[in-house]
Amino acid sequence: MRSVLCYGDSNTHGQIPGRGPLERYGPGERWPGILRSQLGSDWYVIEEGLSGRTTVHDDPIEGAHKNGRTYLRPCLQSHATLDLVIIMLGTNDLKIRFNKPPSEVAMGIGCLVYDIKELAPGPGGSTPEIMIVAPPPMQDDVKEWKSIFAGAPEKSRLLALEFEVLADSLELHFFDAGSVVSCSEADGFHIDAEAHRLLGTALARAVDAIGWSRST
């Protein structure tokens, strides 16, 4: 059986758009769950979605544990052996408190890739396949998050290109979530159940397209 780690933020956690931080879609509804049902019994799908997770920043307000880099190593080692790591992060880096341009967010993703390669949690101590997923662009209206995400919607539309440049440069699998889903109007940056279904289905196809030998 192969293992895939889905490493993300609230949109991997399955947070329901426009609701409180504790309200979450069910295991079969969120995209890792869709991925699980689509890939079938050959795959073990591991969900690691934390609301507020950044690529490489300690969050001065929400806490140091939102730093995607410090948690990644223990997480990879806990779940090794991994055949594939899917990373969908970046939206939280656009909070005004971090003051980062889109290119810098991509570099944050680059750091995570560097750590995965260094730790080599793949089969036999190899580097697993790595897929970078650019999060869907935010809506212009992010409701009560307007001040926290000041300037972020515009930057979020540039993430896909920056991530793809990074994926080309580091030779990574890449998928642009914005090509299949949009963020919900309810809060402007979370995805709804239908979007989870579409994204999980599209990612299952992208995982298949990597090509896997029959022996596991």
Partner 1 sequence: MRFAPPNPLRIADRASGLNALSVRSYNERLVLSLLLQNEGISRMEIGEKTGLSAQTASVIVRSLEQEGLVSQGEAQRGRVGPPTIPLSLNPEGAYAVGVGFSRRRIDIALIDFIGTVRFHTQLPADEANPFPQSSELFGAIRQAMTSLPVEVRSRVAGIGLAVPDDVDTMAATRNGSSTSLKALQGEIEEQNKLPVFVQNDITAAAGGESMFGVAKPLNDYLFFYLGARLQSRLILNHQIYKGNSSASFDHGLMRLESELAMRRRPSEIIWSSSPEWPDLGEAYSAWLGECSDRLKASISALTQFVEFRTVVLSSYAPRKIAEALCDDIGREFPGIEALPARVTISPKAVGAASLPFSSRFMIQ
Summarize as ranges the residues that interact with partner 1 (CB under 8 A): 42, 103, 106-107, 110-111, 114, 129-130, 161, 164-174, 205, 208-214
Q: Which is nearer to partner 1, 6 or 166 (CB)?
A: 166
Angle at 3 between CA 131 and CA 123, to 5 degrees: 90
Phi, psi dihedral angles at 165 (to 5 degrees): -60, -45
Q: Which is nearer to partner 1, 103 or 182 (CB)?
A: 103
Torsion angle in degrees (nearest 10) through CA of 172, 178, 180, 182: 150
Dig out the tokens for 25 from the structure. 């879609």
Q: Which is nearer to partner 1, 35 or 106 (CB)?
A: 106
Phi, psi dihedral angles at 142 (to 5 degrees): -105, 25
Shortest Cβ 101–partner 1 spacing (Å): 11
Q: Which is nearer to partner 1, 129 or 187 (CB)?
A: 129
Shortest Cβ 35–partner 1 spacing (Å): 14
Shortest Cβ 79–partner 1 spacing (Å): 20
For 64, what's the count of Cα atoms within 13 Å in the CB-facing half-sphere?
Answer: 1
Give burial (CB, 10 Å; 0-12/13-18/19+) of 83. Answer: buried
Shortest Cβ 144–partner 1 spacing (Å): 35
Q: Which is nearer to partner 1, 44 or 145 (CB)?
A: 44
Shortest Cβ 17–partner 1 spacing (Å): 30
Q: Which is nearer to partner 1, 163 or 189 (CB)?
A: 163
66: Cβ contacts below 8 Å, ≥ 6 apart: 50, 52, 53, 54, 57, 58, 59, 92
Shortest Cβ 80–partner 1 spacing (Å): 19
In whole angstroms, give the CA distance from residue 72 to residue 68.
Answer: 6
